[in-house]
Structure 1
Amino acid sequence: MAKPMFDADALISMFESATAQQGAQLRKATTEATLAALQGRELTLKNIRGALKQVAEAASTGIAKNPLPGIDPESLLDQAVTGMDQALLKAVEANRVALSTLVTQGADLREKHLGKALADLEKMEDTMFAAMKKAAAGAGAPMADAWAPILEKMQAGGTLSGAQAATTAEAMAEQMHSAMRSSRAASMRAAQVLAESYTAMVSGVLIGMSDALSSGGSAARKTKAK
């Protein structure tokens, strides 16, 4: 397994000692952990799936170890999944910013790399669902029972990031057609170079967007004392 890009032990510890009243803290910590896991990687579907799986596994492991009486594992998992969904919303926004920038510079979204970017946006929800299924499959009893209704709810109702990704893909296609109709001129070679490094560009946008969430001592950023 690839080394996590976030402090998995810190996230495990947080869920291991979490109470039912810490929902907001758990969501925030999971969002930050997911963003940390995504940073430093190109935002391909494969990397997104891997990051989500690692964060989900850490949260699930912590919940399984939680000894507090009256804890509802399903409720804690729901907070974790909501936090990951919030992080993916930022990844979708990073894609929107990058695509919009390229289109205003004259890039054609029918070009191979950008066409794939739009297609990948539409697969964002499936990617999250696949990552959660993988994490659930490796959880074992009794966590598998807690995961089952979470997966069922995701499949039935979808995710916020998935809905936003689909809307973004549609809006970007419309923006491209508008740009073509207004005959915007641009250097096609420069646009092609940018398009070929698209996933790296999105990653850079995401890092910039994530700076505001950085805070010392957060579960996502904490470095273990040696």
Structure 2
Amino acid sequence: MLKSGIDQDALIEMFSTTSARQTAQLRDAVHTATLKALQGREMSLKNIRSVLKSVTEAASAGTAGRGLPEVDAEAMLGSALAGMDDALLKAVEAHQVALSSLAGQGVGLQDKQLKKALGDLEQLEDTMFGAVRKAADAAGGTLSGPWEQALSHFKQDGSQAGAHAQATVNGVTAQLEKMQTAMRDTRAAGLKAAQALAQSYTALVSGVLMGMSDALRQGGSAGSPPPPTAAPAAPAAKSARRKAT
């Protein structure tokens, strides 16, 4: 049966027949099936929950009917958790590449899609634990104890996908903040340069204007004719008296 892109029948068969000692094979099988299902759909939290639910249900169904001791059942379910985490780690790495590419093209932290992607990554670990726990609780029966122990141990060790998701969020956020700071510094430097140029330009214009004024004054003095000289008054008066006598 195909559910959420998962061949549950194949996984159930794997958990029904594989030895509890072959946890590495179970882990690889879960990793491959989970990753294949994730690759065939949009990487949203809703789709991730759906895929993890299907894998958890298959692991529960395959393990339930075997009558294994709790310790063996826990080991098998733990391998299922590890396989799902391995697949999610690959999904996070794909997110990292895509987000770094967007950041390099100048997309800012205020971009709606970018903010949503970063928010989804921050919720990835909680989404994984929530989806698995919900599906495990639904299985109930003899698997309640093994699932509880497997989840508890897995949380103690920590999710690789969750840790890498948080590191990706921090790294991309820092990258974007650094780029924004650089852009602000560039704009500030450009403004200072423009202001300096404006100040130099006005000073230059003032200097040119002063030079033009000086040239005009000097040119006017050199080209004007000398003022007329008045005749002496005394000789003219003597000539007038002679004519009268």
- Structure 2 length as normaliser, TM-score? 0.70
The answer to whether the 8 A contact 1:5-1:39 is kept is no
Q: CA shift at 1:81, angstroms?
A: 0.3
The answer to whether the 8 A contact 1:18-1:66 is kept is no
Q: Which residue of 1 aligns with 2:111?
A: 111
Q: Which has the higher contact order (CA 8 A, sep 6+)?
A: 1
Q: Which residue of 2 aligns with 1:57?
A: 57
| 1:76-87 equivalence runs, <5 A | 76-87=76-87
Q: CA shift at 1:22, angstroms?
A: 1.1
Q: Which residue of 2 aligns with 1:176?
A: 176
The answer to whether the 8 A contact 2:35-2:87 is kept is yes
The answer to whether the 8 A contact 2:27-2:82 is kept is yes
How has the CA–CA distance of structure 1 residues 38 and 157 changed in structure 2, closer, same or farther, with 3 Å as cutoff?
A: same
Is 2:16 the counterpart of 1:16? Answer: yes
Deviating 4+ runs (over 4 angstroms): 67-71
Is 2:102 the counterpart of 1:102? Answer: yes
- Structure 1 length as normaliser, TM-score? 0.75
The answer to whether the 8 A contact 1:77-1:146 is kept is yes
Deviations 1:131-170 (A, max 9, x none): 1111111112101121111222344443111111111100
2:41 alignment partner AA: R
Highest Rg: 1 or 2?
Answer: 2
In structure 2, C-alpha distance between the alignment counterparts of 1:113 and 1:88, rounded to whole Å: 20
The answer to whether the 8 A contact 1:52-1:128 is kept is yes
In structure 2, C-alpha distance between the alignment counterparts of 1:69 and 1:148, rounded to whole Å: 14
CA RMSD of aligned residues (A): 2.1
**Any unmatched runs of 5+ in structure 2?**
185-245
Q: Which residue of 2 aligns with 1:73?
A: 73
Q: Which residue of 2 aligns with 1:209?
A: none
The answer to whether the 8 A contact 1:129-1:154 is kept is no
Q: CA shift at 1:117, angstroms?
A: 1.0
Q: CA shift at 1:71, angstroms?
A: 7.4
2:111 alignment partner AA: E
In structure 2, C-alpha distance between the alignment counterparts of 1:179 and 1:155, rounded to whole Å: 35
The answer to whether the 8 A contact 1:20-1:71 is kept is no
| 1:20-31 equivalence runs, <5 A | 20-31=20-31
2:177 alignment partner AA: H
The answer to whether the 8 A contact 1:34-1:51 is kept is yes
In structure 2, C-alpha distance between the alignment counterparts of 1:142 and 1:3, rounded to whole Å: 24
Q: CA shift at 1:18, angstroms?
A: 1.1
Q: CA shift at 1:183, angstroms?
A: 3.3
Q: Which residue of 2 aligns with 1:6?
A: 6
2:108 alignment partner AA: D
